[in-house]
Amino acid sequence: MNHDLRVEPKSFLIGLIGEGIAASLSPAIHEEEARRLGVSYVYRRIDLAELGRDTTALPALVKSLEDAGFDGFNVTYPCKQAIIGLLDELSDDAKALGAVNTVVLRNGRRIGHNTDWSGFYRSFRQGLPADVATERVALIGSGGAGCAVGHAAMKLGTRELRVFDVDADRAQRLADDLQERFPGTRVVRANDIREAMNNVDGVIHATPTGMTKLPGMPIPAELLRSSMWVADVVYFPIETELIRTARAAGCRTLNGGGMAVYQAVDAFQIYTGITPNPDRMLDHFRSLLSS
């Protein structure tokens, strides 16, 4: 009788914590790529809105994921900064940005990463012409997403970044942090959105406004000029009112889809140690949107 033991390949149980994420495409993106790679992979949503909870529930939620044997979880609005105090360790990127979107649970430790900034960087390089000017850029929003895309903007060659947020103190903190991290550039807090967008090459929108659950225009339409590019981090819906209005004004536009996919590419690799196929993941994402 053959008593050889068969060792099953590693399986992965991943979560997503956020508010109003019932329509998130992250589970489908992660699980389909895992299926194509022959990896057992389950990705579950934990929606604060459905649970009737807010970020004060994070300690209990994270503990429950650990107890259930999760290998890690993504975090989205409004948890990207609130999660940091619950973690044991931060990657260099997460530490620099002060925001986390990817958490690994391993050997009793919670390790935070940030793949948002690299996701936006890759999306920008892929989705806008190589010759777009990035000298002067307006950043609208200074929360977790704003921290990431602000960092990406500086990496893309921005020399002057104007940060606007309705929370002026938070905008000032981000401006100061980026200024320290990128000496030789100019990073300032704008007093209002008009000041932020005056004579800029492009604008990055990084607030939840425009999401299906928070419809609307985060930027007055009259401030959009055909000479500027407009990038949105919101991807559900993929065609936000901002992107639609900017395109009608003659602006070059970048929707949030590329960032959503490329941050997932990097997160998948962090969780599994396996390099996924970015083009295949992007194609699958697009097929989900059109179905």
Annotated ligand binding at 101? The verdict is yes
Residues 149, 256: Cα–Cα separation, whole Å: 11
Query: Which whole-number Å values give the CA distances from 196 to 91, 118, 137, in the listed order?
Result: 31, 24, 8
Annotated ligand binding at 233? The verdict is yes
Query: Which whole-number Å values give the CA distances from 17 to 47, 74, 93, 240, in the listed order?
Result: 6, 6, 20, 23
Annotated ligand binding at 24? The verdict is yes
Annotated ligand binding at 52? The verdict is no
Residues 163, 193: Cα–Cα separation, whole Å: 9
Annotated ligand binding at 143? The verdict is yes
**CA-based torsion, 84, 89, 94, 97: positive or negative:** positive
Query: Which whole-number Å values give the CA distances from 19 to 49, 130, 214, in the listed order?
Result: 5, 35, 12
Annotated ligand binding at 256? The verdict is yes
Annotated ligand binding at 263? The verdict is yes
Q: Is 193 helix (H, G, I), strand (E, B) or coil?
A: helix
Annotated ligand binding at 214? The verdict is no
State the distance between the two ends of the chain, measured CA to CA, in whole angstroms: 51
Annotated ligand binding at 116? The verdict is yes
Q: Which residues are catalytic?
A: 80
Annotated ligand binding at 235? The verdict is yes
Residue closest to 260 by CA, chosen among 234, 287, 288, 291:
234
Q: Is 291 helix (H, G, I), strand (E, B) or coil?
A: coil
Q: Binding site: what residues are annotated?
A: 24-26, 76, 92, 101, 116, 141-145, 233, 235, 256, 263
Detail the residues annotated as belonging to a binding site for shikimate: 24-26, 76, 101, 116, 235, 263
* Binding site feature residues for NADP(+): 92, 141-145, 233, 256
